[in-house]
Amino acid sequence: MKKKQPLADLRNNYQRGELAEQATSEVPLQQFEQWLNEAITQKVNEPNAMTLATVDADGRPACRPVLIKDCDARGIVWFTNYQSRKGLSLANNPFAALQFFWPELERVVRIEGKVEKISETESDAYFHSRPLSSRIGAWASPQSTVIESRTVIVSQAAKYGAEFGLHPPRPPHWGGYRLVPDYWEFWQGRPSRLHDRICYRLQPDGQWQRLRLAP
């Protein structure tokens, strides 16, 4: 049997880039868009995937991957079932954190802020742009609830497919959220664990304070 390598011995010496204050934008959204575009151009695996962390009414944290679907000066948008575990957590505690990890570029972006639902008009527009199977899936899956087997959602998909045909409406329990950032952090891996960390904190006057953090 091959000897197992101890987890404590797994290391990677980061050396693909650096992050200096003078090389970053004064506005964190612009810095984020630059890095996201570079991740897409460099064909990073799932560059639009982000980890969403929430805290429920009992103070218990949970995280899961979701996909960013829009970003602008108002915030970061994703879509999900409002009755899912994350949806119920956000209903009780509307603050959350996001993290993008692009290992091929040795970069991480962290974002924190308050979460709000987007308008029904925006949710409708995105829902109707999705593939038909995804629209039916939004009806078929009681997300985060216990089901007996996969047969349950397969039969539900068949049921709603027959009911709605090619034009399923958006379920009332499904739509978009927007995280409105008050904190951004950009992490660039560096050799010897002396990483670069630049953060932006929203000030009472609406301006962003840019700071360097110790790695």
Q: Which residues are annotated as a binding site?
A: 11-14, 64-69, 79-80, 85-86, 126, 130, 134, 143-144, 187, 193-195, 197
**What's the DSSP call for residue 5?**
P
Q: How many residues appear in the chain?
A: 215
**What's the DSSP call for residue 212?**
E
Beta carbons of 210 and 199 less than 8 angstroms apart: yes
Of 96, 101, 89, 91, residue with least CA distance to 112: 96
Give the dihedral sign, CA 134/138/139/142.
positive
Catalytic residue among 193, 201, 210, 212: 193
The question of whether 193 is a catalytic residue gets the answer yes
Q: Give every CB contact of residue 206 below 8 A, 6+ residues apart in sequence.
A: none
Could you list the residues known to form a binding site for substrate, using ranges. 11-14, 69, 126, 130, 134, 193-195
Number of neighbouring beta carbons within 10 Å of residue 37: 11
Active site residues: 193
